[in-house]
Chain A
């Protein structure tokens, strides 16, 4: 059993969590980066610990390291980059549209999908008084 690398992964993730809970968008994005470093390291450690065998290149003499976690992590690194890029551009757009990078303020902006205030129904109380031959009648 080995303790330093698990500690390292745990620290990365813990620091990432702390940053994600912050209020500034940039910190949130950087926090997610830290979490993904920690997660990648965790996958590599899981089930193996510190690998002392040769890299999974068949040209080298065995025994070799487990190649599967490495393949999984490779995918994760690339996808992580995609996530970061998208988040960054979203942050830029959100800041341009709202003038704030405060996470909570962004959340509390009013929903652009408001319910319609104009009603189609001729019998709706908000519509009725304006229409009909009884327009001039008592209300």
Chain B
């Protein structure tokens, strides 16, 4: 297959599979996952493009999108994008296999797989996109699919809360990215990422705002302090989603963004800013992770922390170390989440304090969890050790404060990694007495991830999978892929690692008292209180503005509208008053009396029946007016509709209360009368003013063409069904919708609260 087509299929196949998933999910239930996993085959097939990318010759492909404004869906598989696309596809493949065992029989499988594949497609599009607009669109699509997946169990309040929070914060980031993309494209003179000129951009006046916005977008997406609050909440999603979106792929989108735009940042103060935000996130995420009781919450804060580490490394230009850790983290963190899913499934709990000694009952799961957790703890011989060494090496170049922060964060990481493993050791503790190992399709998808964790540590050489993988990104990020090794000989970084293990072990041993200390130090506010507080304040502001502009009450609101009608009309129309009065035909006066009587009757009516009768008197009066004014079709229609309306009213009166005279105070009634009179005066003036024709009539067109073009002699009918046929079609559609709505509303009655008061009063009224 030619490389361009493969690149397009990588993004498009998951997208089309997402459309297919609801049907497969309906028939095959959870097992659809085994079939749908194949949607990521083209993504894994990108391996074939790797040799080309390693030589710095990226594959490019484009689809026409909006040709009229020169917008195309451009993809570019340079080494880094290719590497991340491979991770996204491979992890996505495993997650779908895993979900087939994870989802219960009663779930909405089609919907789940559809949203997951939509996300997969969006994420692949995001990393491979070269066009800035496409990048933004895919970025937003990942936010939306993340929202849908977090809210998968949407009937639960925490799910709603979590989904909304993730959407609000990542969408804010999306807005920042929109602005950044516009500024960059205008200043850089190209809509393509690969076409942006760093030199031109840096000398542009919009460089600083553009980069600030870019960094905000990246921080919001990758849950950096102070935007970290959405990620732990996102753990309300089903566990395969947490493993895929909220640890291995989507949350890294911000890190990827900083990596891709890294060429703009070199040598600017932004590198320091990102470095310190990243390190702060590393520390704070680890600090909070240590005190979590929920295994998933622990992993969530751990992900926040690790994202901080990657952000710090990419931001400060240590792209090689960052990339090595990115690959490591995707492997061990996805595996750990999947482990939690199995534990949750089998033991029925994710609480560290309620679980213990599970290794005896879940031997395979424990065997898979231990290497992954130890890799997170950065112990040799696992991959995490190598990237932590590189991290220390990079931070040693940055000065004293960064290295101290890095060390503290790593100590916390070591301690919470061990805490994670406590559920497998010690005396057996579990509420569920019947814990037994999962069947092999459940744990099988973890094995490639754990194998990767081991391979990255044990065979890190250039020509093996680990070295090959990180070497892939070398040409596009502009680093020299140094040889990876477990043993570099005695060095300062090794000493720091040993110090990390010792202090981490010490911290782990005093974990319980340390947690109590943490709890005691917790202030009553944090970014969460700020978030909920500002949401509330926003709501209050909106309510205040609404109350101010749209009136405190419904009637007041209407009064303002009618007054505006009266004043605007009157202020314009008095200039157009014509002169000279013509006599009125006698029959018009008679009908007018009828209508005026009807109007007076409605206003004075005390019962709803009389009000209805007087209203229809006015209605039948207008029927007569139509007769007098030579409009037979109108008269017929009005007669029919008036009759049906009266029947309709009479049939629902049974369910409505009597016409209560909610007394308006004298002042209010007077005000309403004034408003009504003012509106009437405006209408009157308007009608008097427009009786003189101002434009040539189009009457003659219809009269002349009705027969030859429309084939009918009743011109009004021809207009309705022919000249303005689409309008009539729309009208019929509206009536159809109304009919359906009316039926639906009436059906609701069965489930609602039936009130018998109405019918009781009705009897008294009619008798």
- Which residues of A approach B to under 8 Å, CB–CB? 1-15, 17-27, 30, 33-34, 37-38, 40-42, 44-59, 62, 64-68, 70-71, 73-75, 77-86, 88-93, 95-97, 99, 101-104, 107, 115-125, 128, 131-135, 137-139
Contact = CB atoms under 8 A, between A and B. Distances in A.
Contact of B715 (A40, A58, A119): A58
Contacts of A50: 582, 584-585, 588, 629
A59 B581 CA distance: 33
B697 A66 contact: yes
Given A4-B592, A15-B603, A50-B588, A119 B645 contact: no
Chain B contact patch, size range:
35 or more
A45 B160 CA distance: 55
A133 to B, nearest CB: 5
Contact of A46 (B233, B690, B720): B690
B165 interface: yes
B745 interface: yes
B548 interface: no
B1 interface: no
Contact of B720 (A38, A54, A74): A74
B232 interface: yes
A19 B672 CA distance: 9
Nearest to B595: A8
Given A24-B659, A96-B754, A101-B660, A125 B554 contact: no
B745 A21 contact: no
Interface in B662-708: 662, 664, 672-673, 675-677, 679-681, 683-684, 686-688, 690-694, 697-699, 702-703, 706-707
Contacts of A3: 581, 584, 688
A85 B229 contact: no
B292 interface: yes
Interface string B639-675: 0010011001100100111011110100000001101
Contacts of A137: 515-516, 519-520
**Which residue, B518, B634, B698, has most C-beta atoms of chain A within 10 A?**
B634
The DSSP consensus for interface residues of chain A is helix
30 contacts: A1-B579, A1-B688, A5-B592, A9-B683, A17-B672, A21-B562, A22-B662, A25-B656, A44-B634, A47-B694, A50-B582, A51-B631, A52-B630, A58-B707, A58-B715, A66-B697, A66-B699, A67-B699, A68-B698, A92-B656, A92-B746, A95-B656, A96-B754, A103-B554, A116-B158, A118-B161, A120-B236, A122-B294, A128-B522, A133-B511
B144 to A, nearest CB: 19
Contacts of B741: 86, 89
Interface stretch (B55-63, B124-132, B400-408, B608-616): B608-616
Contacts of B582: 1-2, 49-50
Contacts of B254: none
Q: Which 4 A-B pairs have the closest CB atoms?
A: A14-B680, A6-B687, A137-B516, A10-B684
A37 B645 CA distance: 13
Interface in B495-543: 511-512, 515-516, 518-520, 522, 524-526, 528-529, 532, 535-536, 539
B655 A95 contact: yes
Given A45-B687, A81-B645, A125-B529, 17 more contacts: A1-B581, A1-B691, A10-B681, A14-B676, A21-B559, A33-B645, A44-B631, A47-B693, A49-B582, A67-B702, A71-B716, A78-B731, A79-B735, A86-B738, A92-B652, A103-B554, A137-B520
Contact of A34 (B292, B602, B656, B753): B602
Contacts of A78: 637, 641, 731, 735
A11 B596 contact: yes
The DSSP consensus for interface residues of chain B is helix
B81 interface: no
A10 B619 contact: no
Contact of B745 (A89, A101, A122, A135): A89
Contacts of A64: 699, 703, 715
Contacts of B735: 78-79, 82
Given A5-B588, A134-B515, A67 B755 contact: no
A32 to B, nearest CB: 10
Interface in B416-453: none
A137 B516 CA distance: 5
Given A11-B596, A23-B664, A57 B528 contact: no
A21 B676 contact: yes
A23 B555 contact: yes
A111 to B, nearest CB: 10
B633 interface: yes
A115 B293 CA distance: 27
Nearest to B512: A133
A118 B162 CA distance: 10
A51 B585 CA distance: 11
Contacts of B637: 74, 77-78
B508 to A, nearest CB: 13
B673 A18 contact: yes
Nearest to A54: B630
B748 interface: yes
B656 A91 contact: yes
A6 B692 CA distance: 13
A123 B580 CA distance: 80
Contacts of A19: 602-603
Contact of B631 (A9, A55, A124): A55
Nearest to B622: A37
A38 to B, nearest CB: 7
A55 B655 CA distance: 43
B589 interface: yes
A30 to B, nearest CB: 5
A2 B691 contact: yes
Contacts of A90: 745
A37 B618 contact: yes
B765 interface: no
A48 B512 CA distance: 90
A96 B492 CA distance: 77
A65 B706 CA distance: 14
Given A68-B719, A71-B724, A85 B676 contact: no
Contacts of B677: 14
A14 to B, nearest CB: 3
Given A55-B632, A118-B157, A133-B352, A8 B691 contact: no
B641 A77 contact: yes
A96 B233 CA distance: 39
A124 B235 CA distance: 14
Contacts of A26: 608, 611, 656, 659
B688 A6 contact: yes
B566 to A, nearest CB: 9
B293 A125 contact: no
Contacts of B599: 11-12, 15, 34
Contacts of B673: 18
A26 B585 CA distance: 35
B464 interface: no
Contact of A65 (B293, B608, B630, B661): B630
B528 A96 contact: no
B5 interface: no
